[in-house]
Amino acid sequence: MSRDVQSEFDSLSLDAIRRFVSEQRQEDLHLEFKSNADFSKKDIRRQLAIAISGFANSDGGIIVWGVVAKRNPDDIDAAAELQPIENVKQVRSRIESLTGEAINPRVDGVRHREFQDADGRGFLATLVPASDAGPHMAKLAEDRYYKRSGDRFYCMEHFDLEDMFGRRARPRLDLCVRLISGGITYSAGPRWPEYEVRPIIGIRNSGRGIARFPLLRIWTDRDVTWGLDGNGGSGLPKLASTPDKVGCKVYGGGVDHVVHPGEVLEVTAFDGNRVMLNGEAPAEIDIPYEIAAEGCPLVHGKKVITATEQLDIARAMQQREQHKR
The domains of the chain are located at 3-165, 173-324
Q: Cα 28 vs. chain centroid, distance in angstroms?
A: 20
Q: Whole-angstrom Cα distance, residue 151 to residue 75?
A: 10
Report residue 214's pLDDT band, with 50, 70 and 90 as the boundaries: very high
Greater confidence, 189 or 181? 181
Q: Whole-angstrom Cα distance, residue 310 to residue 325?
A: 24
Q: Whole-angstrom Cα distance, residue 147 to residue 145?
A: 7
Q: Is the pLDDT of residue 197 over 70?
A: yes
| Straight-line distance from the first to the last Cα atom of the chain, in angstroms, rounded to the nearest whole number | 52
Q: Which fold has domain 3-165?
A: 3.30.950
What stretches of the chain show up as alpha helix (H) in DSSP?
3-11, 14-22, 42-56, 88-99, 158-165, 307-324
Tens-digit pLDDT profile for residues 256-308 = 899 999 899 999 998 888 888 877 788 888 999 999 998 787 888 999 988 88
CA distances from 22 to 25, 26, 81, 119, 172 (A): 8, 11, 8, 22, 37
Lowest mean pLDDT among 34-48, 52-66, 124-138, 181-195: 181-195
Query: What pTM does this model have?
Result: 0.56
CA distances from 115 to 4, 87, 120, 211 (A): 20, 11, 9, 39
pLDDT at 78: 95
Q: Whole-angstrom Cα distance, residue 57 to residue 30?
A: 12
Lowest mean pLDDT among 34-38, 179-183, 268-272, 275-279: 275-279
Report residue 17's pLDDT band, with 50, 70 and 90 as the boundaries: very high
SS3 140: coil
Greater confidence, 224 or 46? 46
pLDDT at 41: 95
**Per-residue pLDDT averaged across 69-90, rounded?**
94
pLDDT at 314: 86
Report residue 3's pLDDT band, with 50, 70 and 90 as the boundaries: low
Q: Cα 58 vs. chain centroid, distance in angstroms?
A: 16
Report the DSSP beta bridge partners of residue 204.
Answer: 174, 264
**Per-residue pLDDT averaged across 168-194, rounded?**
79
Greater confidence, 252 or 209? 252
Tens-digit pLDDT profile for residues 131-152 = 877 799 999 989 999 999 989 9
Q: 3.10.180.10, 3.30.565.10, 2.60.40.10, 2.60.120.10: which CATH number matches 173-324?
A: 2.60.40.10
